[in-house]
Structure 1
């Protein structure tokens, strides 16, 4: 008799457990996927040149049929380092103004190439602040000066070192510059000063961010910004197949 009661009790408990499990499965809410809905670029003239990479990137997203309309801003001051930005009240106020999904950090090129410790010190401060508001940090790896191509290797090494330490992501625009130039000499990516990006250079930068942040193929987007259709198509096709990270 006791054995039968134990069996009945076990079966009843099994029914309860299975019922609860079924109910829990029906009410699980899958976490929403990552959305780069509110994006802030922090940098210097490499970020704001040619109307700003944020403006070009917004041109892509405006016609990309995303389920939301991204807000993409920048705060960029000529020559600024991440240290300058950290001590700049306007930058702090901009970060505090919204619940950003993505904060993109662009270090001064000379500092990024020559002083990785200072770069890390202030990048980590921004990373901590970004984490406190639930934002993901991406690094905008810039390009070598046109007459100093050897800068690319150091920029690459230092950006990736800092990003690894902070478990963040590098968008390797500088590597894309180098590799594009190696395969195409008819579209000039540098402005006349050989430091800043041309319109095509800024367009290439935005293409890569469009691919990285939104997982979209730029070649399937008709946006051309301020450059001609032919150049835009060449750049988009290059970025479509680019895996330089």
Structure 2
């Protein structure tokens, strides 16, 4: 009796293991694998923006499973990341689908030539590895909205025909012009609130994956209506 019972337990375990493996394989088949490397600073990692992007990609149709790694440091410029070497080492450590570049928030305003040189160096190096370079177009400070046009132009010049532009700053500008009740900035008038990070993630999602549907579940603590509005703004951005 004990021997028979043991055989049944083993059989059940094998079936369960096989079923689990089947579910894993099915999940992998239904999910398109995409790898992203983020190189930037607190505008990138604020409120775990890359994780918000991964949640959106996983919830959308078609479904994307994102493998994300980041090399980020507070106030870091692209020049800093090039000289420090860690980001370059990470870039060359494996094959990436996209590599996202984010300049320090005032870099395009205060040191435009330095930004152009650093962005060009990064873009060419990324393309040589076979990855697609992506420029994260940031937002103007809350007290200086007139600087958005300069930021947009600087990133567009850097990208040329060599990189994808993710127009997060343009999306922020749209929200500020149409619904000032949505707080995008923290009290420092610079860094993103959860609203701002979610809007940015939505712009990344619509730009990189151009999904056919414009409705996604709200996977954040934001009110459903507000999350839906931010999603719709992202779909209106050029890509």
TM range, smaller chain: 0.7 to 0.9
Q: Are 2:237 and 1:243 aligned?
A: yes
- Which 5+ residue runs of structure 2 have no aligned equivalent? 1-31
1:48-197 equivalences under 5 Å are: 48-51=45-48, 53-66=49-62, 68-164=64-160, 167-197=162-192
Correspondences of 1:215-230 after superposition (within 5 Å): 215-216=210-211, 219-230=214-225
State the TM-score, normalizing by the size of structure 2.
0.81
Q: For 1:23-62, list aligned pairs within 5 A.
A: 37-51=34-48, 53-62=49-58
- Is contact 2:77-2:104 (8 Å) kept? yes
Query: Per-residue deviation at 1:191?
Result: 0.9
Gaps of 5+ in 1: 1-34
**Does structure 2 retain, via aligned residues, the 8 Å contact 1:189–1:198?**
yes
**1:15 match:** none
SS at match of 1:69: strand
> Are the structure 2 counterparts of residues 179 and 199 from structure 1 closer, same or farther at C-alpha, using a change threshold of 3 Å?
same
Residues 167-220 of structure 1 show CA distances to partners (whole Å, capped at 9, x for unaligned) of: 222111111101111111221111111100110000000000000111126742
Structure 2 residue corresponding to 1:200, chosen from 195, 200, 210: 195
Deviations 1:139-177 (A, max 9, x none): 10100100111211110111111111x622211111110
Say whether the 8 Å CA contact 2:61–2:212 is kept in structure 1. no
Pick closer, same or farther for the CA change 1:217–1:151 going to 2, 3 Å.
farther
Give the superposition deviation at 1:115: 2.2
Residue pair 2:34, 2:64 contacting (<8 A) in 1 also: yes
SS at match of 2:155: helix
Matched pairs, number: 208
Q: Which moved more, 1:209-218 or 1:61-70?
A: 61-70
* 8 Å Cα contact 1:218-1:239 kept in structure 2: no
- Preserved CA contact (<8 Å) 2:57 2:64: no
| Structure-2 change in CA distance of 1:68 and 1:211 (3 Å) | closer
- Paired with 2:63 and 2:55, the residues of 1 have a C-alpha distance of 16
